[in-house]
Amino acid sequence: MAGKEDSDGNPRHGVPKGSRTSNQELLYDPSIPTSTHAEQARTIAEKMSTATLCTISERSSGVPYGSFVTYAIHNGSPVFLISKLAEHTKNLEANSKASLMISETGEGNPLALGRVTLLGRCEKVNGEDPAMRDAFLKRHPNASFYVDFDDFSFYKLAITEIRYIGGFGRMSWVDEPDWSTSEPDPLIEVAEGIIEHMNEDHEDAMIIICTEFSKAKDTVGATMTGIDRYGFEMSAMTGEGPRPIRVAFENEVTDSESARKEIVALVKVARKNS
Amino acid sequence: MAGKEDSDGNPRHGVPKGSRTSNQELLYDPSIPTSTHAEQARTIAEKMSTATLCTISERSSGVPYGSFVTYAIHNGSPVFLISKLAEHTKNLEANSKASLMISETGEGNPLALGRVTLLGRCEKVNGEDPAMRDAFLKRHPNASFYVDFDDFSFYKLAITEIRYIGGFGRMSWVDEPDWSTSEPDPLIEVAEGIIEHMNEDHEDAMIIICTEFSKAKDTVGATMTGIDRYGFEMSAMTGEGPRPIRVAFENEVTDSESARKEIVALVKVARKNS
């Protein structure tokens, strides 16, 4: 789906996370492939496992009530294992309108973190659904201690709307069909390791990539800040200070090994031309 | 206020955080002074600075909408600096009913973490309130870049109800007057440092305190897990495995120095009797 626009008509590009709109010229081609907002939202939802469930308070009529929950994403929907004694469960039994606010965690300015709000109806799952149960217990092994307690049941949020905020000035409403058909990033589990490895051992390779594939020709240092199926992002140290750079892969990657191959291919081209 | 019951009639005691109700005998006197739920809730609210704001969606009528926010507590109320362009601000302008869900962060089972939901009405602050502005900017220095932007305004949540969850099986509705008159723990900023110091350098002292002041007479190791104005909590390594122990101070403490004095006094008594 690279190159496609998302549901708000936002083209598939943007500035790397944490950077702010400024008067400085962008030092890379903003039209290179980037995850859509739907893909980024699904990636955040899949990566995290705790969030805030918002329900309508039954006790304090009409007040929106936030509670801390654990969840797992199963077939694109958040599922919960909650006790009928809990406030949020009583609230849902009276009114199933709900949303789940999932936020990334990390250092630095908290408003630069990605987050997504999933809105819809959250209802009790009737009957057995072994695949859903397994998905939840795989994500929350501790829940095996109470999964069979009488007062605990699975609930599922049927999503109708999605609000994605990627940080400063990067946000949109994502259509449900885009959410359903998008895949979370395949590098979720390995991205952190790749970034650490690149920053520890391959700064030289990133500097040469910046000078070859971006306008940051005077780059003297580079730190990888993100990687996804379509490419990766760096903070390049230039004469004007740190500047965000995004570089696209030639082919979409699916795992550590294919990401490694694509990075090596970029370095080869850069070395040849330098 | 030590010894007082909280608004739900819960006496001022409880098992240390993270422990679960079990059939094992409690190895310390559960009636020793402990923070009330109101105090614990205020401590969490004061310690954290990001949370989930729950509003009623204007766009998706009646659906409770969760969004990520930064906040500061000023005179017991959460205050926000938000843009009129943001979803939550549009929601509040149409319906001021709101809640703020604040959760501790930490390792281990996420459901053992403390959290508090503050319910009420969230409205724009009219006129200048320099003290409130200063309190917010002190907590969020980055906000000084946009505090004077035309589209940003301060909002305040006037709290009417408080839901506190301290972990497994420790929860209650706290009355607003209890919230207003309670003080956050004076050790908020120093607790982590005291705990590190005790665990690195003074395990012997904690072992002798466990053997003297609790029923854990066979303690061979001890780790401090929490400290507050009324006392501190340890995980004591006993013949039956790790067991929670709480020990009360003779006098309420207000800072690192008074906490140190109270711990030294407990060790002296314990050494004399051993």
Look up the ipTM and state it.
0.88
Measured between CA atoms, how close is B213 to chain A, in angstroms? 33
d(Cα B48, Cα A232) in Å, to the nearest integer?
Answer: 32
Strand extents, DSSP E, B25-96? 50-56, 64-70, 72-74, 77-83
Tokens standing for residue A188? 């979720």
Residues in chain A within 8 Å Cβ distance of B49 = 110
Whether A94 and chain B come into contact, CB under 8 Å, resolves to no
Question: Mean pLDDT over residues A213-231, rounded?
Answer: 96
Residues in chain A within 8 Å Cβ distance of B115 = 67-68
Main-chain dihedrals φ then ψ at residue B7, nearest 5 degrees: -65, -20
The pLDDT value recorded for residue A170 is 87
Residue ranges of B 136-195 with Cβ closer than 8 A to chain A: 142, 160-161, 163, 165
The pLDDT value recorded for residue B14 is 41
Could you say which residues of chain B have pLDDT below 70?
A: 1-23
Higher pLDDT, A10 or A249: A249
The pLDDT value recorded for residue A23 is 64
pTM of the entire structure? 0.89
Residue among B50, B64, B163 minimizing CB distance to A64: B64
Main-chain dihedrals φ then ψ at residue A16, nearest 5 degrees: -55, 150
Query: pLDDT for A82-101, tens place per residue?
Result: 999 999 999 999 999 999 99
Question: Mean pLDDT over residues A137-149, rounded?
Answer: 95
The pLDDT value recorded for residue B22 is 53
Cα–Cα distances in angstroms (integers) from residue B189 to residues B31, B44, B193, B250, in the given order: 27, 12, 8, 22
Measured between CA atoms, how close is B160 to chain A, in angstroms? 10
Domains of chain A: 41-181 (2.30.110.10), 187-273 (3.20.180.10)
pLDDT at A61 over 90: no
Question: Mean pLDDT over residues A218-245, rounded?
Answer: 95
Question: Mean pLDDT over residues A53-79, rounded?
Answer: 97
A24-33, A43-52, B238-247: the lowest-pLDDT one: A24-33
- Please indicate whether, in this complex, the C-beta atoms of A99 and B63 are within 8 angstroms of each other: yes
Question: Mean pLDDT over residues A162-181, rounded?
Answer: 94
The pLDDT value recorded for residue B201 is 97
d(Cα A19, Cα B82) in Å, to the nearest integer?
Answer: 20
d(Cα B50, Cα B100) in Å, to the nearest integer?
Answer: 10
Question: Mean pLDDT over residues A18-39, rounded?
Answer: 80
- Please indicate whether, in this complex, the C-beta atoms of A52 and B161 are within 8 angstroms of each other: no
Measured between CA atoms, how close is B56 to chain A, in angstroms? 6
pLDDT at A1 over 60: no
pLDDT at A169 over 80: no
- Please indicate whether, in this complex, the C-beta atoms of B105 and A105 are within 8 angstroms of each other: yes
The pLDDT value recorded for residue B168 is 80
Measured between CA atoms, how close is B215 to chain A, in angstroms? 28
Closest to A156 in 3D by CA, of A89, A96, A79, A51: A79
- Please indicate whether, in this complex, the C-beta atoms of B99 and A63 are within 8 angstroms of each other: yes
